[in-house]
Amino acid sequence: MSEQDKKDQVIEAEVVEPSTTENTTDETTEKKPYKISNEVLTRILVTVLFALIGWVSLWVFGVVVLVQFGFLLITGNLNKNLKAFNGELGDYLSDIINYVAFQHDEKPFPFKGWHYDDDKKPENGEPAS
């Protein structure tokens, strides 16, 4: 056979139409749509809120670090108040990251008290160093 003959050959195939009389869909096997619970929706919204709060807090953290470098360059000493503030803000950012990353379910401030400076206060009333 020549190549032209091979191209001209037609392969016949039987076409089978699906039967319309058989109904294979059963009501019991039909999938029901998944309904998202209020708890999941709340977690999504609170997670997005804390992601935004964390993003803004991170920028504040960076600005305070730059100001602290300015104090160090000008005076040769760190500002104790900025150091304490950034320590507390760092702890707060850590809590936000843990919540957003599903490491714990306890929501950070303002859903719980501001506990970040509790362990840093000396008993004699002096400012934290």
User: Tens digit of pLDDT for each residue in 57-95?
Assistant: 999 999 999 999 999 999 999 999 999 999 999 999 999
pTM for the complete prediction?
Answer: 0.62
Q: What is the pLDDT of residue 82?
A: 94
Q: What is the pLDDT of residue 121?
A: 57
In a domain, 77, yes or no: yes
Q: How many domains does the chain have?
A: 1
Buried b (16+ CB within 10 A) or exposed e, 42-75: eeeeebeebeebbeebeeebeebeeebeeeeeee
User: Tens digit of pLDDT for each residue in 7-36?
Assistant: 555 555 555 666 555 555 555 566 777 788
In a domain, 18, yes or no: no
In a domain, 91, yes or no: yes
* Residues contacting residue 78 through CB under 8 Å, at least 6 positions apart: 68, 71, 72
Range of the domain at 101: 58-119
In a domain, 86, yes or no: yes
In a domain, 40, yes or no: no
In a domain, 99, yes or no: yes
